[in-house]
Structures are given as structure tokens and as C-alpha cells.
């Protein structure tokens, strides 16, 4: 009896399939799992990254255990006898304010990168309590003028360090009174347990994503005039993504030999009132502002609700302005001064 072709085909297919399975088993290496993967135990080399946080006064990402100390606010002079100043490029935030005689002085705020020494140190003025109160921590200065100014700075509740403190010293190769300096790291070490400052501004991830970087107009130079005596300018350096400072017709240098620079330059037009014959910048107020970051400037408004409130920056649509991570200079020319932007 003959066998149908279908039956023969089925038989041949079954034999071929059996041979294929046997062949696969035969080719498998000893000790391998049925799936063909190695039976050796897998060991991951992944390492959990160290925790980070945002530094409160710069917006930079730092280690979780960094930038934990208090803010150190120091009154720094700004006349030719004081140049070059010490430690300005390491400050997180610097305010420039108009004082008597048309000259300006600085309030430098150090927290994330405190140098060994800062200076030259000069006396406080009536607006300084409203500047430093939002930072907390320590305030250092040489003197205070009228007793009313002294009372105002004491009322801030900050640790007050004055000329007779052991952390102050005179620089031998400079002329008094422009030679007073502060051992900055020492004064912080001698006042343990003080809280870190609150965050002052909103930040983007980088200059391109800052409010000025996204919505601003190109600005290569910022010219700021406080008076007939005091003016300065900032020129954008694309390589460093920073503005470089000039004053009195030349580059403004720090004592370490580098030109003073800032990631963000904030110009706030302010009202000046008289306080016991001293000019007082009105800080608890609001006014016109220009914020320059990444080679661009955005126009807006500054406001400060109370002495202990941070300065709030908004654009012309009321949206909070975001700075780029890095240091910030806050220039405060009076209403009869000027801010000129050069594309």
C-alpha cells in the first residue's frame, strides 16, 4: 500500500525539527543558562551621586554640605586710596550705593566662597540696615557717624563687628583710614551656629535661559553714572559669559590681579533722601530696573516690601526675572543719575 505525499512531508518535517533542537542543545556551552546568558552574578558599578543643593546667594549647584555658613556683609570703600579692593571677585552679591560728596561705597555679601581677608572696610550709612537685614548673619564696618545710624544697624539683630574687634587689622602698606581689613574666615569661625541666608533671587539654569538671555536686547556695554565724580561701566566678555567692570577710565581690578566681573549686573534707579545731612538710599520702595545677563538686558521693576524682604525683580509684564547662576552686582544710581545701554 502506498503512502500519501502529505504523510511523507509531515514525517520529514518532524525529523528535521527534532534534529534542530538537538543541534541547539549540543552547541550550548556547559554551565550556560537556557536563555544563553552567563550564570555569573552581575555586579553593578553604579555609584549614587553625592547630594547637591542650590547656593542661596548665587544659584549655583553645590554639594549639600557646602554654603551652609552665614552671610557676611562688609562695608567696603570705593575711592582711589582704597584700590585695589580685596576679595570683591569672591563676593556673592555686591551693592554699590551713593554716599556723601558724590562718591560711592559698596556693601559686599560673602557666603559661598569666603576669602581669608576682605577690605578696605569703611563705616556704615543709613541705608545699610535695610540692605543687610534680608541676609542675616554678620555685618562688619569701621564706624557709623551719627548714633542714630549705629542704633539702626544694631536693631537689625545681626552680629555687629566693628573696628576694635580682634578680627580687624590695619594693612601696613596702605594709608589710614583706607587700610582697615577684616579676617573674614576668622570672624565666621568665631560666630558659630548662625543660619545660612534665605535665597534672594530666582535663577535659571544658565545665562541663555535667564530672563535677559531669552527676552532681553543685546547689550555689549552698560554705563552707569551716580554723580559727576562716580561712574562706571561694564563690558560683556562672551568667552567668560561675564561683564567686566571699569571705573575712572580704566579696568577695575581686584587685589588678586583679576578684573572685577559679574555674571549678572542689576541696575536699580533709586530715590535718595536726606538723613541727618547724609544721603540715604530708600530701599523699602520700588523703581525702574535693568537686568543684564549673558550679553543681553531686560527692562523691569525692582521692589522691596520690608527691610527683611529680598529684592524682587519683575519684567514689564510682571513676570519674575530669573538671573543666571553666579555672582551679582547691584548698581543703585539715583534718579538724577543715568543708566545707558550700548548694543
Contact at 8 Å (CB) between 161 and 168? yes
Please state the pTM of the whole predicted model.
0.87
Q: How far apart are CA 128 and CA 20, in angstroms?
A: 88
Rg (CA), the chain: 32
Domains and CATH numbers, the chain: 54-342 (3.50.90.10)
Phi/psi for 17 (5° steps) reads: -65, -40
Is residue 225 exposed (0-12), middle (13-18) or buried (19+ Cβ within 10 Å)?
A: middle
Q: Distance (Å, rounded) from C-alpha 40 to C-alpha 35?
A: 13
Rounded distance, CA 290 to CA 16, Å?
82
Q: Name the one residue in this structure whose C-alpha cell is 534672594.
A: 200
pLDDT tens over the chain, length 343 residues = 444 443 333 433 343 334 333 333 333 444 444 555 556 899 999 999 999 999 999 999 999 999 999 999 999 999 999 999 999 999 999 999 999 999 999 999 999 999 999 999 999 999 999 999 999 999 999 999 999 999 999 999 999 999 999 999 999 999 999 999 999 999 999 999 999 999 999 999 999 999 999 999 999 999 999 999 999 999 999 999 999 999 999 999 999 999 999 999 999 999 999 999 999 999 999 999 999 999 999 999 999 999 999 999 999 999 999 999 999 999 999 999 999 999 9
Amino acid at each position: 500500500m502506498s503512502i500519501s505525499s502529505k504523510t511523507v512531508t509531515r514525517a520529514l518535517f518532524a525529523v528535521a525539527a527534532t534534529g534542530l533542537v538537538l543541534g541547539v542543545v549540543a552547541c550550548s556551552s556547559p554551565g550556560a543558562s537556557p536563555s544563553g546568558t552567563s550564570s555569573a552574578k552581575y555586579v553593578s558599578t553604579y555609584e549614587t551621586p553625592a547630594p547637591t543643593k542650590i547656593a542661596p546667594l548665587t544659584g549655583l549647584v553645590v554639594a549639600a554640605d557646602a554654603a551652609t555658613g552665614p552671610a557676611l556683609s562688609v562695608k567696603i570703600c570705593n575711592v582711589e586710596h582704597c584700590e585695589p579692593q580685596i576679595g570683591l571677585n569672591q563676593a556673592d552679591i555686591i551693592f554699590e550705593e551713593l554716599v556723601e560728596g558724590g562718591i560711592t561705597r559698596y556693601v559686599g555679601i560673602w557666603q559661598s566662597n569666603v576669602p581669608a581677608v576682605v577690605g578696605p572696610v569703611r563705616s556704615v550709612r543709613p541705608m545699610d540696615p535695610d540692605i543687610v537685614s534680608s541676609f542675616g548673619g554678620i555685618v562688619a564696618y569701621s564706624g557709623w557717624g551719627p548714633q542714630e545710624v549705629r542704633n539702626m544697624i544694631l536693631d537689625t539683630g545681626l552680629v555687629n563687628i566693628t573696628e576694635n574687634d580682634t578680627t580687624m587689622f590695619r594693612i601696613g602698606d596702605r594709608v589710614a583710614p583706607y587700610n582697615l581689613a577684616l579676617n573674614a574666615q576668622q570672624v565666621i569661625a568665631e560666630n558659630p551656629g548662625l543660619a545660612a541666608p534665605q535665597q534672594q533671587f530666582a535663577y535659571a539654569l544658565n545665562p541663555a535661559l535667564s530672563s535677559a538671555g531669552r527676552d532681553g536686547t543685546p547689550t555689549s556695554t552698560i554705563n552707569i553714572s551716580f554723580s559727576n565724580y562716580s561712574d562706571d561701566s561694564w563690558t560683556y566678555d562672551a568667552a567668560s559669559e561675564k561683564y567686566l567692570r571699569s571705573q575712572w577710565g580704566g579696568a577695575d581690578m581686584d587685589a588678586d590681579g583679576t578684573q572685577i566681573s559679574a555674571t549678572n549686573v542689576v541696575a536699580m534707579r533709586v530715590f535718595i533722601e536726606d538723613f541727618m545731612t547724609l544721603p540715604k538710599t530708600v530701599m523699602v520702595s520700588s523703581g525702574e530696573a535693568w537686568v543684564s545677563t549673558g550679553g543681553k538686558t531686560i527692562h523691569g521693576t525692582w521692589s522691596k516690601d520690608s527691610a527683611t524682604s529680598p529684592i524682587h525683580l519683575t519684567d514689564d509684564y510682571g513676570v519674575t526675572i530669573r538671573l543666571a547662576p553666579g555672582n551679582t552686582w547691584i548698581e543703585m544710581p539715583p534718579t538724577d543719575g543715568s543708566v545707558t545701554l550700548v548694543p
